[in-house]
């Protein structure tokens, strides 16, 4: 095995490639740092000469406890090559070569393993370095650093053994800062440190540079199995058998006079994405000085005056690096006596805004494809760009100053700052009349709280989960919302909330971070973005749409090729539909018609209709509602001209439209006690009726299609309103595509009962109005039985829309209103569930039902249109699953449409060329 190659010079990257067959293999062999330095060397970027001892050598060392045969000889031979390249010699007092010994695994493990700098410094070479540099302070400082690092890292001496005598020395001299130390002081400290080594180890600090290198190499190998490194690997799932490489790199110094310097830079602005170098440098300084901000650094541009030649070279190199890696680079460089060296380059971290701008610019520059640009931006980054955000440092400060109140479920992203109010009316009043920014705080919300929510900047509840009413409505309207913050105790009577010691009274300021679920006391600064102004984001989203529009991008389970997902929106009102269109939605996937019943001028009629004692009385009340509904639908058709609009027939249990039973009971009792008789009988009758509507399990009771069958007059009115509106709009030149959706179907017989009646009305209206247009009748798949019998259901339904809120509730048997408040968070914490299934589709259970339903449904009706309108329709992971199972579209809140457009394109690109059978 002695012919095995354990050591690669930076310039031998091609050999490594040949051996491993791929760049990924080279990264595994030479580590991230080593392969990067080698790659830069190949690209003719000036990198200090050096070499890498492979991860294979590290693994061999771990197995046997000694360097593998041949490795050390190869390391010495490589060192000779480095001497040749640099013209310096290791251990030569007249022109000494100094090197660093750095760890570097395949995946970055920042600070988890060891590094030793300034290897090669000895008493003799230190003297040579002083003669060479004329800078004894720098040389002795470097030397004491080597003795200290060598002592702690290589010899395992505790840090305190060096720190204590150093502190003592400074104290004796009356110094506070290291900068006060003179050359003489550092020289004295070198001796102190050498004495520490002798005392702790019983031998002298090695004056043989070769010995230093050997021990340092071994120390880096050992650090692979140090506690820090092992813990880090556990936490990040990095396998234990990768091993670390050891990089031996020539030391270069930026502190050798005014023709030397050091700096860090980004090739583009990491905060805005602007194509302009951004960085800092310092003359006559070491890297740490820039990072630590000890001295005020100058902007990199200034180098064009101080070192014009170097600046030109630097700009040329960074441009080359960016083109080579096709990514914004974060570089470290040093200038040693007028010569520029690149010490590191890596893809730079950036804000969401910069990520979008850089991706779009790079595609426009021809550096990357549009597909690559789309893939470089995450849906979460788009989310960030669309909601007001809290300033991060301000949030940290708030944490520090005890302003953090509680954490709940991050139900609707964005930052909201406002004055707390504990009921919808007050929140609305203070917002509208007193022009306050308000936050509505409730234990939970109900449909008749919506006006308060819409008027508020944010919503906070102490109960409920990701699909609770508050969460659904907040997302729909793009209102930042935290739900289920159970640490908060809301006292509605005293109009205050209490968290531990903190008491928030009505009108006090709070800040709600819907992106993270955090709630703070007081006002935290925010900034608010808008889509229209974000031209780069709009460009990127158009590219995303183009990707999904390719007719053969997706291969379905049956081998058929189709386009990718479309993105539709859930919208109840024309203003939401208009927003959805402007955000790029190409259909309405769910209009929850019942929301319209809550408008103040309609609710009494709705209640009258519910309490009607005869069908005639009910129809009379419905006739009053008909024009309202007709104009609601007309507005939607107009906003969605040319695009499909799915209108769901009434779904919730009737008691939701009635006054609160408890409050009414209290009123009745109070009237009785006070002896007030006026209106008492009516109230008592109303109370009796409400009690008559009571159900133990209303979510599984008289709702959805069951209600339509039990009380068909309501849906008959709704269908008439839909078709009359569609006919009127068609006459105006609007292209309408109404799709009538029947909710909560469990058996095809329900559809067989109701659908023909509704169809008759639809046809009758079209005959009356003497006009024809496209339309569909379909159903929601929300009940497991419907999914299982999808083949039968598709005989009648022309489309399916997965109501994954209810489907999740019923597949798991978890109440969607209670589970998150009780056990669901614990389940996720304990790993019983990987994720909250009300936020991300449970692929193994609910997902299988969906897959089965699509396949059975399409077997019965090949052109069956399939969508999703549960909350999952805006969740990137769930969107990917919808792509896989073959949905035509996903429908989500208008505010999530841009996120979904990007997620749909990601899914299309990720799965292009694979069929569903291969996707798990």
Rounded CA-CA distance 454/438 in Å is: 10
CB of 472 to ligand PEP, least distance (A): 6
Sketch the per residue contact string, 769 through 788, with ligand PEP: x for CB under 6 A, - otherwise.
Answer: -------------x------
Do 473 and 805 form a contact (C-beta atoms < 8 A)? Answer: no
CB of 851 to ligand PEP, least distance (A): 17
SS3 613: coil
56-60's contacts with Cβ under 8 Å and 24+ in sequence apart are: 56/4, 56/6, 56/29, 56/243, 57/6, 57/7, 57/221, 57/246, 58/221, 58/224, 58/243, 58/244, 58/245, 58/246, 59/241, 59/243, 60/6
Nearer to ligand PEP, 130 or 781 (CB): 781
Nearer to ligand PEP, 223 or 804 (CB): 804
Nearer to ligand PEP, 263 or 870 (CB): 870
DSSP lists the bridge partners of residue 868 as 802
- Identify the residue among 74, 593, 745, 804 touching ligand PEP (CB under 6 A): 804
CB of 872 to ligand PEP, least distance (A): 8
* Binding partner of 869, given Mg ion, ligand PEP, none, CB within 5-8 angstroms per partner class: ligand PEP
- Identify the residue among 83, 806, 865, 875 touching ligand PEP (CB under 6 A): 806
CB of 715 to ligand PEP, least distance (A): 16
Q: Which residue has the tokens 């408040």?
A: 821
Nearer to ligand PEP, 146 or 571 (CB): 571
Rounded CA-CA distance 268/273 in Å is: 6
Q: Which residue has the tokens 């609305």?
A: 428
Footprint (CB under 6 A) of ligand PEP, residues 543-602: 590, 592
Q: For 174-286, where are the alpha helices, taking DSSP H only?
A: 183-201, 209-223, 227-236
Half-sphere exposure of 48 (CA within 13 A, CB side): 23
- Contact window for ligand PEP (CB under 6 A) among 237-245, 367-375, 762-770, 804-812: 804-812
282: contact with ligand PEP by CB under 6 A: no
Q: Which residue among the candidates 469, 655, 883, 911 is catalytic per the annotation?
A: 469
Catalytic residue status for 58: no
Nearer to ligand PEP, 119 or 869 (CB): 869
Sketch the per residue contact string, 626 through 655, with ligand PEP: x for CB under 6 A, - otherwise.
Answer: -------------------------x----
Nearer to ligand PEP, 157 or 869 (CB): 869
- Contact window for ligand PEP (CB under 6 A) among 47-55, 204-212, 475-483, 797-805: 797-805
Rounded CA-CA distance 708/56 in Å is: 70
* The two three-digit tokens of residue 384, written as one number: 């960030």
* The two three-digit tokens of residue 852, written as one number: 């089965």
CB of 242 to ligand PEP, least distance (A): 44
CB of 712 to Mg ion, least distance (A): 20
Rounded CA-CA distance 268/358 in Å is: 8
Number of C-beta neighbours around residue 309 at 10 A: 11
Nearer to Mg ion, 724 or 782 (CB): 782
Closest CA to 905 of 651, 540, 515, 476: 540
How far is residue 336 from each of residues 280, 484, 515, measured CA to CA in Å?
Answer: 17, 59, 47
**H or E element: which one contains 281?**
strand 278-283
CB of 815 to Mg ion, least distance (A): 13
* The two three-digit tokens of residue 817, written as one number: 């209103």
840: contact with ligand PEP by CB under 6 A: no
Dihedral angle sign, alpha carbons of residues 481, 484, 488, 490:
positive
Buried b (16+ CB within 10 A) or exposed e, 640-673: beebbbbbbbbbbbbbbbbbeeeebeebeeebee
Question: Binders of ligand PEP: how many residues, by CB under 6 A?
Answer: 10
* Binding partner of 128, given ligand PEP, Mg ion, none, CB within 5-8 angstroms per partner class: none
CB of 830 to Mg ion, least distance (A): 28
Sketch the per residue contact string, 317 through 336, with ligand PEP: x for CB under 6 A, - otherwise.
Answer: --------------------
413: contact with ligand PEP by CB under 6 A: no
Helices (H) and strands (E) in the chain, counts: 38, 35
Catalytic residue status for 655: no
Q: Which residue among the candidates 869, 872, 883, 911 is catalytic per the annotation?
A: 869
Closest CA to 607 of 671, 682, 719, 680: 682
803: contact with ligand PEP by CB under 6 A: yes
Three-state secondary structure readout of 156-177: CCCCHHHHHHHHHHHHHHCCCC
CB of 588 to ligand PEP, least distance (A): 13
Site of interaction with Mg ion (CB under 5 A):
782, 803, 806
478: contact with ligand PEP by CB under 6 A: no
CB of 484 to ligand PEP, least distance (A): 17
* Binding partner of 592, given Mg ion, ligand PEP, none, CB within 5-8 angstroms per partner class: ligand PEP
* Binding partner of 787, given Mg ion, ligand PEP, none, CB within 5-8 angstroms per partner class: none
Dihedral angle sign, alpha carbons of residues 693, 695, 698, 703:
negative
- Identify the residue among 54, 805, 840, 907 touching ligand PEP (CB under 6 A): 805
Strands (E), 348-486: 389-390, 404-407, 409-412, 415-421, 438-442, 458-461, 481-483
Nearer to Mg ion, 361 or 806 (CB): 806
Strands (E), 692-783: 737-742, 776-781
869: contact with ligand PEP by CB under 6 A: yes
Nearer to ligand PEP, 545 or 782 (CB): 782
Nearer to ligand PEP, 318 or 804 (CB): 804
* Binding partner of 840, given ligand PEP, Mg ion, none, CB within 5-8 angstroms per partner class: none
* Binding partner of 804, given Mg ion, ligand PEP, none, CB within 5-8 angstroms per partner class: ligand PEP
State the catalytic residues.
469, 869
Chain residues that interact with ligand PEP, rule: CB under 6 A: 590, 592, 651, 782, 803-806, 869-870
């Amino acid at each position: 095995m002695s012919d095995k190659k354990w050591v690669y010079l930076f310039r031998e990257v091609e050999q490594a490639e040949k051996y491993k067959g791929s760049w990924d293999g080279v990264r595994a062999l030479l580590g991230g740092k080593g392969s990067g330095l080698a790659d830069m060397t190949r690209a003719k970027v000036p990198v200090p000469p050096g070499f890498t001892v492979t991860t294979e050598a590290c693994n061999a060392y771990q197995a046997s406890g000694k360097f593998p045969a041949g490795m050390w000889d190869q390391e010495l031979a490589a060192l000779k090559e480095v001497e040749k390249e640099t013209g310096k010699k290791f251990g030569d007092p007249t022109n000494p070569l100094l090197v660093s010994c750095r760890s570097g695994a395949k995946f970055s493990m920042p600070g988890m393993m060891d590094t030793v700098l300034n290897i090669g410094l000895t008493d003799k070479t230190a003297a040579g370095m002083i003669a060479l540099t004329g800078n004894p302070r720098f040389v002795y400082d470097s030397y004491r650093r080597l003795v200290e690092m060598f002592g702690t890292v290589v010899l395992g001496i505790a840090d305190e053994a060096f720190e204590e005598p150093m502190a003592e020395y400074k104290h004796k001299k009356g110094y506070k800062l290291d900068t006060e130390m003179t050359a003489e002081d550092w020289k004295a400290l070198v001796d102190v440190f050498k004495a520490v080594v002798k005392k702790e180890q019983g031998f002298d600090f090695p004056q043989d540079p070769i010995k230093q290198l050997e021990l340092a190499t071994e120390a880096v190998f050992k650090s692979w199995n140090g506690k820090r490194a092992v813990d880090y690997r556990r936490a990040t799932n990095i396998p234990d058998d990768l091993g670390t490489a050891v990089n031996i790199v020539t030391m270069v110094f930026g502190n050798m006079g005014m023709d030397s310097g050091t700096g860090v830079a980004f090739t583009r602005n990491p905060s805005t994405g602007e194509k302009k170098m951004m960085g800092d440098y310092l003359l006559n300084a070491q890297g740490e000085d820039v990072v630590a901000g000890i001295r005020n650094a100058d902007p990199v541009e200034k180098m064009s005056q101080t070192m014009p030649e170097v600046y030109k070279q630097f700009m040329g190199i960074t441009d080359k690096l960016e083109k080579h890696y096709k990514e914004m680079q974060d570089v470290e460089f040093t200038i040693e006596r007028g010569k520029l060296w690149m010490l590191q380059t890596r893809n730079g971290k950036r804000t969401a805004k910069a990520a979008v701008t850089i991706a779009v610019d790079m595609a426009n520059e021809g550096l990357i494809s549009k597909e690559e640009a789309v893939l470089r931006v995450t849906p979460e980054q788009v989310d960030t760009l669309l909601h007001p955000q809290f300033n991060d440092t301000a949030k940290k400060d708030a944490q520090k100053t005890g302003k953090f109140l509680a954490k709940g479920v991050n139900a609707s992203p964005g930052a909201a700052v406002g004055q707390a109010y504990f009921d919808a009316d007050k929140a609305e009043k203070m917002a509208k009349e007193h022009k306050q920014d308000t936050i509505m705080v409730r234990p939970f919300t109900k449909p008749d709280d919506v006006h308060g929510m819409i008027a508020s900047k944010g919503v906070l509840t102490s109960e409920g989960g990701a699909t609770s009413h508050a969460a659904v409505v907040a997302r729909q309207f793009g209102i930042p919302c935290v739900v289920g913050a159970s640490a908060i105790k809301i006292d509605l009577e005293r109009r205050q909330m209490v968290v531990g010691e903190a008491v928030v009274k009505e009108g006090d300021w709070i800040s709600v971070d819907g992106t993270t679920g955090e709630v703070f006391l007081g006002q935290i600064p925010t900034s608010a973005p808008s889509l229209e102004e974000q031209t780069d984001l709009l460009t990127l989203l158009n590219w995303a749409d183009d990707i999904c529009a390719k007719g053969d991008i997706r291969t379905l389970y049956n081998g058929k090729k189709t386009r990718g997902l479309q993105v539709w929106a859930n919208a109840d009102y024309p203003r939401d539909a208009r927003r959805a269109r402007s955000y790029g939605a190409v259909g309405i996937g769910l209009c929850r018609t019942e929301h319209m019943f809550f408008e103040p001028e309609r609710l009494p009629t709705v209640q009258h209709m519910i309490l009607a004692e005869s069908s005639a009385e009910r129809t009379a009340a419905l006739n009053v509602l008909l024009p309202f509904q007709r104009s609601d639908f007309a507005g939607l058709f107009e906003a969605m001209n040319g695009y499909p609009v799915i209108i769901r027939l009434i779904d919730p249990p009737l008691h939701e439209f009635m006054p609160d039973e408890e409050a009414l009971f209290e009123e009745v009792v109070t009237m009785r006690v006070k002896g007030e008789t006026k209106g008492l009988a009516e109230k008592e009758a109303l109370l009796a009726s409400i009690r008559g509507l009571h159900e133990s399990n209303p979510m599984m009771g008289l709702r959805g299609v069951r209600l339509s069958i039990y009380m068909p007059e309501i849906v008959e009115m709704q269908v008439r309103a839909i078709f009359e509106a569609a006919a009127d709009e068609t006459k105006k030149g609007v292209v309408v595509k109404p799709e009538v959706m029947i909710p909560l179907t469990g058996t095809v017989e329900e559809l067989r009962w109701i659908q023909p009646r509704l169809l008759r009305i639809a046809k009758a209206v079209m005959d009356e109005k003497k006009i024809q247009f496209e339309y569909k009748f379909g159903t929601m798949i929300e009940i497991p039985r419907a999914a299982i019998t999808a083949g039968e259901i598709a005989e009648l339904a022309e489309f399916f829309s997965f109501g994954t809120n209810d489907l999740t509730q019923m597949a798991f048997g978890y109440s969607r209103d209670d589970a998150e408040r009780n056990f669901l968070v614990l389940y996720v914490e304990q790993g019983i569930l990987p994720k909250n299934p009300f936020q991300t589709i449970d692929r193994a259970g609910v997902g299988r039902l969906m897959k089965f339903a699509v396949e059975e449904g399409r077997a019965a009706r090949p052109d069956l249109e399939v969508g999703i309108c549960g909350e999952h329709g805006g969740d990137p992971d769930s969107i990917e699953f919808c792509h896989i199972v073959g949905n035509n579209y996903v429908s989500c809140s208008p505010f999530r449409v841009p996120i979904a457009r990007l997620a749909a394109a990601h899914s299309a690109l990720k799965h292009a060329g694979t069929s569903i059978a291969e996707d798990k």
